[in-house]
A and B are shown apart, each in its own frame.
Chain A
Amino acid sequence: ETGVTQTPRHLVMGMTNKKSLKCEQHLGHNAMYWYKQSAKKPLELMFVYSLEERVENNSVPSRFSPECPNSSHLFLHLHTLQPEDSALYLCASSQLAEQETQYFGPGTRLLVL
């Protein structure tokens, strides 16, 4: 599990706060992903970065803003979130090929009050 790390592991924020989630991968991969996991719902893909360029944005509200400064780091900037945004946010990375496995970090458990 140390291949993909995420910080913080837990975060509580008010609706007016601004915070950032950080993901770092130590696997030499060139694609990174943000997923949202809510109770009773399937895993939702939010963003995909391929070679540090965003290639997927699945109709995610603008209050979520991703950033990929290099192939090893991925951020998710949060501002003016809503209580329904409370969830487990998972980062993953992989090599850029269809058969390649995505490896996940431990997630950040976010609670929006």
Chain B
Amino acid sequence: AQSVAQPEDQVNVAEGNPLTVKCTYSVSGNPYLFWYVQYPNRGLQFLLKYITGDNLVKGSYGFEAEFNKSQTSFHLKKPSALVSDSALYFCAVRVSYSGNTPLVFGKGTRLSVIA
């Protein structure tokens, strides 16, 4: 079975400071990992994904995430937070070579960037 955990319901950051949103996963096999963002009254927007190769993945809006196999983590980061980054962030995982099994989502982390 595959699962993903986002240990923080809420993250508060001051504008201009670096931000981190945590994600850990559990799969039997190699993972495909995704980050999505959801603004109020909107659907989920794709930010970035890790498939293979370089452990540091760069995505939209200045976000990046680092795949750490030994710690089974895929934390989302941004060097300097903006107030407009305030939203709900979801991590998701799927096992590779799994026959297109469904994406499993974390419960989400609400990021609040304070001016």
Contacts and interface: CB of A to CB of B under 8 A. Distances in A.
A61 interface: no
B10 interface: no
Contacts, number: 57
Contacts of B97: 98
A106 B42 contact: yes
A101 B34 CA distance: 8
A103 interface: yes
Interface stretch (A14-22, A42-50, A67-75, A79-87): A42-50
Contacts of B51: 99
Q: How large is the interface on A (under 10, 10 to 19, 20 to 34, 35 or more residues)?
A: 20 to 34
B46 A101 contact: yes
Contacts of B96: 98-99
B100 A97 contact: yes
Interface of B: 32, 34, 36, 41-46, 49, 51, 90, 94-103, 105-108
Interface of A: 1, 4, 6, 31, 41-43, 45, 48, 50, 56, 90, 92, 96-99, 101-107, 109
